[in-house]
């Protein structure tokens, strides 16, 4: 099994890069992609880890006002994490500004929290889960669980959900991944409030390479309860979409580590080995 979607403490995961690699080795994975949100701090640490193949990746958040897509996630695989244009773009992303704006919005809504309190919860990049942690700590009766903070305030469409205006457009994200030598994949296509086929077609038209077919919506999206039978149906639907649009297939656990939503262990969910062969073949073609 391979896992092409995993996070470390450089974004919102609970394991550092070395711990994540050790867990992948323990789980006997053949390949692991490190795909932190909007940063390559952990991807830059990859050295030889044979026989495990560790793939440098990234998960970009896209806000495309022209096409009308908000917070679409695009994974880049086999990117060069040292690529200068990629790094300078990531440094200017404004993730911090977005989180500060979220805190200001919460203050406006009557919740007395500060950005410093949120920052203190994170070991790297500040994310919405860190804001949720502070809310849980200060308002335990209102937010006994992290999901409560998301459902009431922080999730898409809720009053304190602030989009990141300085994020990428869809085409820009795809182009940046390509210029850094990687291939681009549309992540978890069924979590968005958009028509998945239109989205996949727009993605392909702009040069996108693949779609995340092997994804565990049951574990990763507890707020939207579905069964594993329905999850299998979504896998079939994504695979059909890939075929129809001429996109590659990818997949992974979206692992965030122990104590986070989703799988608590690497190796519980992944994609079959054959998926990687096709990705590598396409990568070889794109390099010529
Ligand atoms: Zn995602
Ligand atoms: Zn992810």
What pLDDT, in 10s, does the model give residues 51-97? 999 999 999 989 887 899 988 999 999 999 999 999 988 876 667 77
Domain spans in the chain, listed from the N-terminal domain onward: 2-92+168-287, 95-154
Residue 24 C-alpha to ligand 1 middle, in angstroms?
Answer: 20
Q: Which residue from 111, 157, 161 is spatially nearest to 134, judged by alpha carbons?
A: 111
Residue 110 C-alpha to ligand 2 middle, in angstroms?
Answer: 31
Confidence of residue 179 (pLDDT cuts 50, 70, 90): very high
Ligand nearest to the CA of 188: 1
Predicted confidence (pLDDT) at residue 110 exceeds the cutoff of 80: yes
**pLDDT above 70: percentage of residues in the chain:** 97
Residue 288 C-alpha to ligand 1 middle, in angstroms?
Answer: 30
pLDDT for 46 equals 95
Question: By CB neighbour count within 10 A (0-12 exposed, 13-18 middle, 19+ buried), where does 281 fall?
Answer: exposed
Residue 44 C-alpha to ligand 2 middle, in angstroms?
Answer: 18
Residue 36 C-alpha to ligand 1 middle, in angstroms?
Answer: 9
Predicted confidence (pLDDT) at residue 133 exceeds the cutoff of 70: yes
Average pLDDT of span 260-270: 92
Average pLDDT of span 161-187: 87
Residue 173 C-alpha to ligand 1 middle, in angstroms?
Answer: 14
Asked whether the beta carbons of 11 and 37 are under 8 A apart, the reply is: yes
Residue 59 C-alpha to ligand 2 middle, in angstroms?
Answer: 6
Tell me which of 3.40.50.300, 3.90.1300.10, 3.30.460.10, 3.20.20.140 is the CATH number of domain 2-92+168-287. Answer: 3.20.20.140
pLDDT for 20 equals 97
pLDDT for 162 equals 76
Question: Sign of dihedral through CA atoms 205, 80, 54, 92?
Answer: negative
Ligand nearest to the CA of 35: 2
Sheet of 183-186, strand order: 2-6, 31-34, 53-64, 69-77, 183-186, 210-214, 248-251
Residue 243 C-alpha to ligand 1 middle, in angstroms?
Answer: 22
Q: SS3 breakdown of the chain: % helix, strand, coil, rounded to 5?
A: 40, 15, 40
Q: Which residue from 251, 249, 253, 250 is spatially nearest to 268, judged by alpha carbons?
A: 253
pLDDT for 128 equals 87
pLDDT for 216 equals 95
Residue 184 C-alpha to ligand 1 middle, in angstroms?
Answer: 13
The three-state secondary structure class of 245 is helix
The three-state secondary structure class of 218 is helix
Fold: same for 2-92+168-287 and 95-154 = no
Predicted confidence (pLDDT) at residue 48 exceeds the cutoff of 60: yes
Confidence of residue 101 (pLDDT cuts 50, 70, 90): confident
pLDDT digits (tens, 9 = 90+) for 232-260: 999 999 999 999 999 999 999 999 998 88
Bigger pLDDT: 199 vs 122:
199
What lies within 8 Å, CB to CB, of 279 at 6+ separation is 77, 78, 183, 210, 248, 250
Ligand nearest to the CA of 74: 1
Ligand nearest to the CA of 254: 2
Estimate the crossing angle of helix 128-138 against helix 95-108, to 10 degrees.
30
Residue 116 C-alpha to ligand 1 middle, in angstroms?
Answer: 26
Q: What angle do CA 107, 109, 112 make, to 5 degrees?
A: 35
Average pLDDT of span 255-266: 91
Residue 1 C-alpha to ligand 1 middle, in angstroms?
Answer: 20
Residue 188 C-alpha to ligand 1 middle, in angstroms?
Answer: 7
Question: Picking from 98-107, 111-120, 209-218, which range would have the lowest pLDDT averaged per residue?
Answer: 98-107
pLDDT for 167 equals 64
Average pLDDT of span 102-115: 94
Ligand nearest to the CA of 261: 2
Architecture in CATH for domain 95-154: Orthogonal Bundle (1.10)
Average pLDDT of span 10-35: 95
pLDDT for 122 equals 85
pLDDT for 125 equals 74
Asked whether the beta carbons of 206 and 170 are under 8 A apart, the reply is: yes
Question: Picking from 23-32, 159-168, 182-191, 269-278, which range would have the lowest pLDDT averaged per residue?
Answer: 159-168
Residue 138 C-alpha to ligand 1 middle, in angstroms?
Answer: 28
């Amino acid at each position: 099994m391979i896992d092409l979607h995993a996070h470390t403490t450089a974004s919102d995961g609970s394991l550092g890069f070395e711990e994540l690699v050790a867990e992948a080795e323990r789980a006997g994975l053949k390949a692991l992609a490190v795909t932190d949100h909007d940063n390559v701090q952990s991807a830059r640490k990859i050295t030889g880890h044979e026989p495990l193949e560790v793939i440098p990746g990234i998960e970009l958040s896209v806000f495309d006002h022209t096409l009308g897509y908000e917070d679409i996630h695009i994974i880049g695989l086999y990117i060069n994490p040292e690529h200068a244009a990629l790094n300078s773009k990531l440094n200017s992303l404004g993730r911090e500004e977005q989180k500060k704006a979220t805190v200001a919005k919460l203050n406006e809504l009557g919740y007395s929290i500060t950005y410093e309190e949120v920052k203190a919860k994170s070991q790297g990049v500040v994310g919405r889960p860190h804001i949720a942690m502070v809310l849980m700590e200060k308002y335990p009766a209102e937010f006994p669980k992290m999901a409560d903070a998301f459902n009431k305030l922080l999730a898409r469409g809720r009053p304190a959900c602030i989009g990141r205006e300085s994020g990428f457009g869809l085409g820009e994200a795809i182009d940046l991944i390509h210029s850094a030598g990687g291939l681009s994949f549309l992540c978890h296509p069924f979590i968005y409030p958009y028509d998945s086929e239109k989205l996949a077609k727009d993605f392909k038209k702009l040069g996108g390479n693949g779609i995340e077919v092997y994804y565990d919506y049951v574990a990763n999206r507890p707020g939207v309860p579905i069964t594993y039978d329905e999850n299998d149906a979504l896998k079939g639907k994504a695979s059909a979409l890939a075929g129809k649009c001429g996109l590659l297939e990818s997949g992974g656990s979206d692992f965030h580590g122990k104590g986070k939503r989703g799988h608590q262990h690497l190796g519980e969910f992944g994609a079959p080995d054959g998926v990687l062969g096709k990705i590598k073949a396409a990568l070889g073609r794109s390099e010529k």
